């Protein structure tokens, strides 16, 4: 469609007529969107994936490290708790004991792995308290305590209280677990009881095992090494070594 525009005082000719087009072609030319599209290239995707994997690996490593550290800390606290309980119970029993029970036939005691005490009670009858250490690192053993069979877990110290009136074990308590000095052996020195006379002279193990129980034993001590956790998961604690002081059998006569 053509429009003839006439200015005031002049009349345009057909050659100078202004043609204005209102068709869709002009609108399409002025307002059409760009034909090119935006997207990530393969190189950009690879770089982004690599950075994301590195960040996730760092986060996962930190999480695993913190988990193992917390596991070791929990095992260390448990180790210290059982050590304090064992030393406290041992010290109290020795100080209250009225007699140190001896036996020259198998099983021989007192020994490095076995201690038997006579404990007074409020009823007038005396109980027998037996400390037994199973030095086997993997297998439990069955041990006769005052004629009663008791299963002792591997690498553990067990305390048994026997009442002669009822002929029963009134309590059985595992005081220490995971006893080891770090060597893969039937650890003879992972836990041991030591015996001394009033002057502090120690009775040799050979004297004890030979059944030569001198009546002069007046002091007893306990020493052990233990650790908790699993080495494969990196939650194992360092070996913790503990020892009691030389506790006096203060209720036992010097020559009994």
Q: What is the mean pLDDT of the chain?
A: 81
In whole angstroms, how far apart are CA 108 and each of 55, 81, 115, 124, 206? 63, 31, 10, 28, 12
Domain containing 120: what range?
64-248
Does a structural domain hold residue 237?
yes
Across 23-27, 95-99, 159-163, 225-229, the highest mean pLDDT is recorded for: 159-163
Is 46 within the bounds of a domain? no
Where b means 16+ CB within 10 Å and e means fewer, 133-170 reads: bbbebeeeeebebbeeebebeebbbbbbbbbeeeeebe
55 within a domain of the structure (yes/no)? no
pLDDT at 4: 46
Give the sheet arrangement for strand 127-134, strand by strand: 99-100, 114-119, 127-134, 156-163, 168-176
Q: What is the pTM of this model?
A: 0.73
Q: Is the pLDDT of residue 84 over 80?
A: yes
What is the pLDDT, as a whole number, of residue 46? 87
The SS3 call for residue 27 is: helix
pLDDT band at 117 (very low <50, low <70, confident <90, very high): very high
**Residue 52: pLDDT band by 50, 70, 90 thresholds?**
confident
**Residue 3 forms part of a structural domain:** no
Tell me whether residue 15 is in a domain: no
**Is residue 182 helix, strand or coil?**
coil
Residue 140 resides in a domain? yes
Lowest-confidence region among 60-64, 98-102, 222-226: 60-64
pLDDT of 227-244, one tens digit each? Answer: 988 888 888 889 999 999
Q: What is the pLDDT of residues 179-231, one digit of tens each?
A: 998 877 665 679 999 999 888 889 876 666 655 666 788 999 999 999 988 88
The distance between the two most distant Cα atoms of the chain, rounded to a whole number of Å, is 150
Number of domains, the chain = 1
User: Would 6 be classed as within a structural domain?
Assistant: no
The Cα–Cα gap between 153 and 146 comes to: 18
Determine, yes or no, domain membership for 74.
Answer: yes
């Amino acid at each position: 469609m053509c429009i003839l525009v006439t200015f005031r005082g002049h009349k345009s000719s057909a050659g100078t007529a202004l043609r204005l087009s209102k068709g869709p072609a002009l609108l399409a030319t002025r307002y059409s969107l760009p034909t090119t599209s935006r997207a990530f290239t393969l190189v950009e995707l690879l770089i982004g994936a690599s950075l994301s994997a590195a960040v996730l690996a760092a986060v996962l490593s930190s999480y695993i490290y913190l988990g193992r550290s917390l596991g070791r800390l929990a095992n260390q606290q448990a180790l210290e708790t059982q050590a304090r309980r064992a030393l406290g119970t041992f010290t109290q029993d020795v100080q209250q004991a009225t007699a140190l029970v001896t036996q020259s036939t198998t099983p021989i005691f007192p020994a490095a792995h076995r201690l038997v005490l006579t404990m007074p009670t409020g009823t007038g009858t005396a109980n027998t308290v037996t400390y037994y250490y199973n030095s086997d690192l993997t297998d439990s053993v069955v041990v006769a305590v005052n004629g009663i069979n008791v299963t002792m877990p591997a690498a553990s110290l067990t305390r048994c209280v026997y009442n002669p009136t009822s002929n029963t074990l009134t309590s059985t308590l595992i005081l220490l677990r995971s006893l080891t000095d770090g060597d893969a052996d039937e650890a003879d020195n992972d836990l041991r009881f030591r015996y001394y006379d009033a002057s502090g002279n120690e009775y040799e193990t050979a004297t004890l095992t030979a059944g030569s129980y001198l009546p002069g034993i007046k002091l007893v001590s306990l020493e052990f090494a233990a650790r908790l956790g699993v080495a494969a998961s990196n939650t194992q604690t360092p070996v913790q070594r503990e020892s009691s002081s030389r506790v006096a059998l203060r209720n036992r006569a010097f020559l009994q």
